[in-house]
C-alpha cells in the first residue's frame, strides 16, 4: 500500500491520461500534445489574448508564439486584433480548428481499452468516486 493513497491515485490517473492517452490522441491527429492542449483551451468564437495562453500554460510568451505559429501553419487558429486594445493580439480557432477540436475531444473521451476491460461494477464504483471530485 502506498504511503500516500491520494498521491498514488492521482499518479495513476495522470499517467493514464496525460502521459499516455493525450500523446496518443495528439499523434493520431498529427499534432504535438502542446498544440492539442491549445486547441482544447481555445473556445470556439472566443478569441484569447496570447498572454492568457502563456499564463494558462505557465510558460514564456515566446513558447506561445511558437505554438500559435504551428496552429496557423495547419490552418487551425489565427491571430486577430483585440476588440478594444489594438496593442493586444488574440488567438481564435478557425472553422477547421473548431472541427478538429471537436474530433479531438470525442477521441479523448472515447475510453481506452483499459477502461473497457473493467467490470460494470468496477466502472460504477470508479464513476462514483471520480464524481465526488470532478467539477460539475
Tell whether 101 is covered by a domain. Answer: yes
Tell whether 7 is covered by a domain. Answer: no
Tell whether 58 is covered by a domain. Answer: yes
Residue 75: pLDDT band (50, 70, 90) is very high
The per-residue pLDDT for range 22-50, each reduced to its tens digit, is 889 999 999 999 999 999 999 999 999 99
Tell whether 1 is covered by a domain. Answer: no
- pTM value is 0.80
Q: Give the model's pLDDT for residue 86.
A: 84
- How many domains does one find in the chain? 1
* Cα 5 to chain centroid, rounded: 26
DSSP 18-81: IIIIHHHHHHHTT--HHHHHHHHHSBTTB-EEHHHHHHHHTS-HHHHHHHHHHHHHTTSEEEEE
Domain of residue 89 covers 15-133
CATH number of the domain that 47 lies in? 1.10.10.10
Amino acid at each position: 500500500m502506498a504511503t500516500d493513497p491520494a498521491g498514488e491515485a492521482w499518479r495513476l490517473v495522470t499517467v493514464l491520461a496525460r502521459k499516455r492517452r493525450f500523446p496518443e490522441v495528439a499523434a493520431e491527429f498529427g499534432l504535438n500534445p502542446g498544440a492539442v492542449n491549445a486547441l482544447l483551451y481555445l473556445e470556439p468564437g472566443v478569441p484569447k489574448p496570447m498572454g492568457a495562453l502563456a499564463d494558462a500554460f505557465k510558460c514564456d510568451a515566446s513558447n506561445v508564439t511558437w505554438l500559435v505559429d504551428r496552429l496557423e501553419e495547419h490552418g487551425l487558429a489565427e491571430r486577430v486584433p483585440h476588440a478594444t486594445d489594438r496593442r493586444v493580439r488574440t488567438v481564435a480557432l478557425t472553422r477547421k480548428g473548431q472541427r478538429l477540436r471537436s474530433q479531438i475531444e470525442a477521441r479523448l473521451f472515447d475510453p481506452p481499452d483499459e477502461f473497457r476491460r473493467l467490470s460494470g461494477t468496477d466502472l460504477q464504483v470508479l464513476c462514483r468516486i471520480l464524481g465526488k471530485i470532478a467539477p460539475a
